[in-house]
Amino acid sequence: MTSPITSPQTADTAVLGYPHRHLLGIEGLSAGEIGFLLDLSDGYAALNRSESKKTALMRGLTVINLFFETSTRTRTSFELAGKRLGADVINMSVSWSSIKKGETLIDTAMTLNAMHPDVLVVRHPDSGAVKLLSEKVNCAVINGGDGSHEHPTQALLDALTIRQRRGRLAGLVVAICGDILHSRVARSNIHLLTTMGATVRVVAPPTLLPAAIERLGVEVYFDMRKALEGCDIVMMLRLQTERMHGSYVPSIREYFRFYGLDREKLAMAKPDALIMHPGPMNRGVEIDSEVADDIDRSLIRAQVEMGVAVRMACLDVLTRDLRHANEAQGARRRGGAS
């Protein structure tokens, strides 16, 4: 027999729960809902460090990782999360360019829906595509990143990592640095951190800042040194190679000179400020190796670890109703047989 089918949780927030069918974004979630997911994730983080990492919570349930964009770490993280919960996990990588020529996104959704998955984890290069897909299927959908819109599990794992090190989110000063314009990680983190009462600063060259970003409740900086002054957390973003040469940013060396995180700029932050990066890092572009590998300051590996825990928590909450219904059904069946 496997261990008892219960999920780890703390009593005080459990009552709040997560009353949504999907996890499509952080925007619109309440502080209570976010806190609930983080509390649940804390339990899974502990479980993942124990000897018996595996539960049978999702036994018999199917998770499909549907990735229209290449990804290694997010897909692996979801896969591991599903397997540790005992689910059957299937990975589907679809080249979006081939999709464009033939089958529409909705056709793909209908096809998958006919296979009766219980959770779809979807990553897509177009903003809003995951929401569109969620409207066409019967199962729960987790947004694994859509275009430049949201990447909710990344924001949750970042928050969990911060909370484990600092004990709280409220009152912290977090600087998010780099390509804010194209970053779904930045948007999800802005929504989450401002909802939880942290002060969020964004810093980038103006060419990499979206219009009216200050309306999302953040402070805007062009000067990284000023932005880091008194910060608790420095969150770096990846700069895509195709944006490094003359269109948004003139060159790698200029970008690193003004926006790369090195010891000198980090010295402006609080002495115990922590460094985060969603990965994969471009060393020497947005972050100096010396800083990235500083075990006292860098949370980059902790982020990866927390990623699995957060995704387990998300899979758990989104299948709860389903599991309860299945249990009830099973109980009725057993009751009828006896």
Partner 1 sequence: MNSMSDSADKGKPGRAAYINARLLDPASGLDALGALLVENGRIADFGPRLFNDGVPAGTASIDCNGACLAPGLVDMRVQLREPGEEHKETIKSAGLAAARGGITAMVALPNTEPIVDDVAGVEFVARRAREAKLVKVYTYAAITRGLAGTEITEIGLLAEFGARGFTDGLKAVADAQVMRRALSYARAHDQLIVQHPEEPSLADGAMNEGVTATRLGFAGSPTTAETIMFERDFLLFELTGGRYHAAHVSTAAAIEAIRQAKVRGLQVTCDTAPQYFMLTEADVGDYRSFAKVSPPLRCEADRAAVAAAVADGTIDAVASDHSPHDQESKRQPFAVADPGMAGLETLLPLTLALVHKKQMSLLDAVARLSTRPAEILRLNAGRLAKGAPADLTIFDPEETWTIDPDAFLSKSKNSPFDNYPARGRARATVVDGRMIFGADTYGRAPASVA
Q: Which stretch binds partner 1 (CB under 8 A): 52-60, 166-174, 254-262, 289-297?
A: 254-262
Strand order in the sheet with 119-124: 88-93, 62-67, 119-124, 140-146
Within 10 angstroms of residue 209's Cβ, the number of other Cβ atoms is 20
In terms of CB distance, is 52 or 247 closer to partner 1?
A: 247
Sign of torsion over alpha carbons 77, 26, 174, 261:
positive
**Size of residue set near partner 1 by CB under 8 A:** 17
Work out whether 212 is an interface residue with partner 1 (CB under 8 A). no
Residues 217-236 that bind partner 1 (CB under 8 A): 222-223
Q: What is the largest CA-CA distance in the chain?
A: 75
264 touches partner 1 by CB under 8 A: no
Q: What is the dihedral of CA 316, 91, 68, 141, to 10 degrees?
A: -20
Nearer to partner 1, 133 or 186 (CB): 186
What's the CA gap between 311 and 123, in Å, rounded?
14
Phi, psi of 155 (to 5 degrees): -65, -40
Piece of the chain touching partner 1 by CB under 8 A; list 67-75, 107-115, 201-209, 325-333: 201-209
Neighbours of 128 (CB within 10 A): 13
Residue 96, interface with partner 1 (CB under 8 A)? no
Single out the segment in contact with partner 1 by CB under 8 A; choices: 30-38, 60-68, 243-251, 310-318. Answer: 243-251
Residue 240 contacts partner 1 per CB under 8 A = no
In the bound state with partner 1, the residue whose beta carbon lies nearer, of 29 and 261, is 261
**Binding stretches for partner 1 (CB under 8 A):** 205-207, 211, 222-223, 245-251, 253-254, 257-258
